């Protein structure tokens, strides 16, 4: 396989990927998704135990918390990045 055909094949396999700027929404999305799922699961099991309908209860608690958490993370994450930038030294050369 020549370099040009290899590059074309690599480009075709990557064509489904989103543009780099999408990470500004995807990072907070997945952060909120996983964190709310973990916290909702723990809080729900702690509140009601391992009830017969625990999966339904966790799903309802997760959905409610995710709807609130995702917009909050979108707003708060840039503020957190600025705070952290003030607390840590810049990379060498900057």
| Region for residue 57 given its phi and psi (left: phi exceeds 0; alpha: psi -120 to 50; beta: otherwise) | alpha
Q: Which of 92, 87, 82, 41 is nearest to 65 (CA)?
A: 41
pLDDT digits (tens, 9 = 90+) for 33-92: 999 999 999 999 999 999 999 999 999 999 999 999 999 999 999 999 999 999 999 889
| Overall pTM > 0.75 | no
pLDDT attached to residue 2:
58
pLDDT attached to residue 8:
59
> What integer is the mean pLDDT of 3-16?
61
């Amino acid at each position: 396989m020549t370099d040009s055909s290899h590059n074309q094949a690599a480009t075709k396999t990557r064509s489904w990927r989103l543009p780099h700027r999408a990470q500004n929404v995807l990072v907070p999305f997945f952060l909120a998704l996983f964190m709310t799922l973990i916290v909702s699961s723990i809080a729900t099991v702690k509140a009601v135990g391992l009830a017969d309908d625990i999966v339904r209860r966790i799903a309802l608690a997760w959905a409610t918390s995710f709807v609130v958490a995702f917009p909050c993370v979108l707003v708060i994450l840039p503020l957190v990045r600025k705070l952290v930038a003030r607390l840590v030294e810049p990379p060498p050369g900057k």
